[in-house]
């Protein structure tokens, strides 16, 4: 049987647009059992050198400056939105309303009300949706989810999530779109707390009530250059502009199942480089994982140490390998490592499988709304200084 082509349009060929485009190209070489063939049909980017790279380096059939020109075409099956956050709503809604399946990088819009409107438009259009919560797909994290769902860790009592990154820790770091509320929406809560809380949603479940704290440590930054990213640097004396969203967000939460949790995220911290990490504790075991060392996980299982004091007790370092979900698509054996873009490839493989087979992808825009519902409660709590119940923002 011939696999059906899935014709893909990527909007925004920056960091994540490039990562997803490489992944679509790799899928045939990684998953022989797929039911489709990804086709890089068109890339939209407002920068000429990105458009040239799209065609010459990535193998897109064509590249266009205006994403709107893609929407009326009937030869596109999937729109992938990897543009800055404040463009997500217009791009995703236009794609859904013209019958295209939509994958959008997290968090689907910069503000909670945008995410909610996008989810409703896509639900009404009946298209498959996916949001870029790629860290879910780390093979050891998926393995841990299986252990938790099977009750191997007992009842989950508490969870510590953190995402500490140094991408904004240098005051000479440019004022890219991420530091502006009109282009990014909220700051670190939108950018990386979303990842940390999505992981907790997946592993522990929905949150019932929350209280938050936020702060901006670096209030002015050198103005950006065209095409610059949040990793580029200016010089002392360069013209500067104000940072208009938060550098730091902390939260305490109570989950609906009675577990409790604490979260901290910062983009301007010194030390942790990309520490998207969690510790999870249950009545019969515990685990910890950190993106910086994503090919290992700490696992403590009470097991028979309870009744047999001769058995060794403590955290075991579990090394990733082909016995864990999807790891073997990349490399065989135990303790041979995979990396960040491999998680994106797994995510894209699952999303396109849902498109080809008419299924549901997780995380979908429904899960994106779950996060922004928590985020909205947190923002309110920072204004009032009080605990807030999480109320779903979903529009029925």
Which of 9, 87, 286, 297 forms a contact with ligand NAD (CB under 6 A)? 87
Spatial separation of the C-alpha atoms in residues 249 and 267, rounded to whole Å: 9
Q: CB of 186: closest distance to ligand NAD in angstroms? A: 11
**Angle at the Cα of 192 (from 119 to 216), degrees rounded to 5?**
115
**Site membership for ligand NAD, residue 134 (CB under 6 A):** yes
Residue closer to ligand NAD by CB (options 16, 96) is 16
| Contact present, 178 and 187 (Cβ < 8 Å) | yes
Which lies closer to ligand NAD via its Cβ, residue 249 or residue 255? 249
Question: Does 26 interact with ligand NAD (rule: CB under 6 A)?
Answer: no
93 lines the binding site for ligand NAD (CB under 6 A): no
Of residues 336, 331, 344, the one with CA closest to residue 319: 336
CA distances from 364 to 108, 124, 145 (A): 10, 14, 18
User: 283-322: which residues touch ligand NAD (CB under 6 A)?
Assistant: none
Among positions 182-211, residues that touch ligand NAD (CB under 6 A) are 191
- Residue 132 near residue 103 (C-beta atoms within 8 A): yes
Q: Is 241 in the site for ligand NAD (CB under 6 A)?
A: no
Question: 3-class DSSP state for residue 99?
Answer: coil
Give the bridge partners for 357, in sequence order: none
Residue 266 · residue 247 · CB < 8 Å: yes
* Structure tokens that stand for 390 in this block: 């999480």
Q: Give residue number: closest CB to ligand NAD.
A: 14
Size of the site for ligand NAD (CB under 6 A): 24
CA distance 149 to 269: 34
User: Contact with ligand NAD (CB under 6 A): which of 8, 27, 44, 71?
Assistant: 44
* 274 is a contact residue toward ligand NAD (CB under 6 A): no
Site string for ligand NAD, 5-24 (x = CB under 6 A): ------xxxxxxx-------
**Interface residue list for ligand NAD (CB under 6 A):** 11-17, 44-47, 50, 67, 82-85, 87, 105-106, 132, 134, 191, 229
């Amino acid at each position: 049987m011939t696999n059906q082509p899935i014709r893909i349009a990527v909007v925004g060929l920056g960091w994540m647009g490039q990562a997803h485009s490489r992944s679509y190209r790799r899928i045939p070489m990684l998953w022989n059992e797929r039911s489709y063939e990804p086709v890089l049909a068109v890339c939209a980017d407002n920068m000429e050198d990105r458009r040239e790279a799209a065609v010459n380096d990535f193998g897109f059939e064509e590249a266009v400056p205006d994403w709107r020109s893609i929407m009326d075409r009937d030869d596109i099956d999937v729109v992938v939105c990897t543009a800055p956050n404040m463009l997500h709503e217009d791009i995703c809604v236009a794609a859904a309303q013209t019958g295209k399946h939509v994958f959008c990088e997290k968090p689907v819009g910069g503000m909670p009300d945008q995410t909610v409107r996008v989810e409703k438009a896509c639900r009404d259009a009946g298209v498959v949706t996916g949001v870029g919560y790629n860290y879910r797909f780390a093979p050891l994290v998926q393995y841990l989810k299986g252990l938790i769902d099977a009750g191997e860790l007992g009842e989950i009592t508490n969870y510590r999530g953190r995402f500490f990154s140094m991408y904004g820790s240098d005051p000479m770091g440019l004022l890219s779109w991420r530091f502006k509320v009109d282009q990014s929406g909220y700051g670190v809560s939108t950018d990386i707390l979303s990842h940390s809380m999505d992981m907790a949603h997946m592993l522990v479940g929905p949150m019932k009530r929350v209280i938050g704290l936020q702060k901006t440590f670096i209030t002015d930054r050198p103005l950006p250059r065209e095409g610059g990213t949040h990793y580029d640097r200016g010089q002392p004396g360069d013209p500067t502009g104000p940072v208009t969203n938060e550098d730091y967000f902390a939260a305490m939460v109570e989950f609906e199942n009675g577990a409790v949790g604490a979260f901290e995220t910062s983009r301007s911290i010194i030390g942790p480089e990309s520490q998207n990490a969690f510790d999870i504790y249950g009545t019969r075991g515990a685990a910890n994982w950190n993106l910086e060392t994503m090919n290992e996980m700490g696992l403590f299982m009470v097991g028979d140490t309870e009744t047999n004091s001769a058995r060794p007790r403590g955290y075991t370092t579990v090394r990733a390998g082909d016995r864990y979900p999807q790891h073997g698509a990349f490399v065989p054996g135990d303790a041979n490592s995979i990396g960040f873009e491999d998680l994106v490839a797994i995510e894209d493989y699952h999303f396109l499988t849902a498109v080809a087979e008419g299924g549901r992808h997780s995380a979908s825009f429904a899960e994106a709304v779950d996060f922004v519902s928590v985020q909205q409660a947190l923002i309110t709590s920072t204004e009032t200084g009080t605990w807030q119940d999480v109320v779903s923002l979903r529009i029925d």
